[in-house]
């Protein structure tokens, strides 16, 4: 039987990490947002009405990483050492990669995943008017493939 660390006696709880040593930790997460070709071109050319989409998404991802513990109930507040947010173009999509580093007693996967998720949501928010069809629906737009690419613990 699987034992869950965040559940005890059918109650959710934050795991006690006080006895764990501080270790250098790093997590890399990524995800994709699929958009119409015209929207992708507008982002690349800096012609989106709301402004610089990727710069805004980078700031949003950074804020999300720093606030993960206020969003996900059982996450610990951790001392972030660095955050990097990058974007690459793919065939019909933009991929976001977030790397979070810190020295502490617990991992940084949730922070990296939260950064990716909020970056992609910010892109969607900034281009939603261009993505809607005549009925106000999003036939092409989707966020997909959010995952942890790598996790490092120790030197």
Report the catalytic residues.
Answer: 125
Query: Can you give 66-115 as a three-state secondary structure string?
Result: HCHHHHCCCCCCCCEEEEEEEEEECCCEEEEEEEEEEEECCCCHHHHHHH
Q: Cβ contacts of residue 66 below 8 Å, gap of 6+?
A: 80, 83
- Bridge partners (DSSP) listed for residue 100: 27, 83
What's the rounded Cα separation, in Å, for the pair 7 and 45? Answer: 49
CA-only gyration radius of the chain, Å? 18
């Amino acid at each position: 039987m699987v034992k869950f660390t965040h559940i005890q006696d059918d109650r959710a709880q934050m795991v006690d990490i006080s006895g764990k040593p501080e270790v250098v930790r790093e997590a890399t997460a990524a995800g994709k947002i699929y958009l119409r070709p015209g929207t992708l071109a507008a982002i690349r050319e800096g012609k989106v009405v709301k402004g610089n989409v990727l710069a805004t998404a980078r700031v949003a991802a950074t804020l999300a990483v720093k606030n993960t513990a206020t969003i996900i109930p059982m996450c610990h507040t951790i001392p972030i050492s660095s955050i990097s947010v990058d974007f690459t173009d793919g065939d019909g999509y933009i991929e976001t990669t977030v790397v979070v580093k810190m020295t502490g007693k617990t991992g940084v996967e949730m922070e990296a995943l939260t950064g990716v998720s909020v970056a992609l949501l910010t892109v969607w928010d900034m281009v939603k008017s261009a993505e809607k069809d005549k009925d106000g629906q999003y036939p092409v737009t989707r966020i997909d493939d959010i995952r942890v690419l790598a996790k490092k613990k120790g030197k």
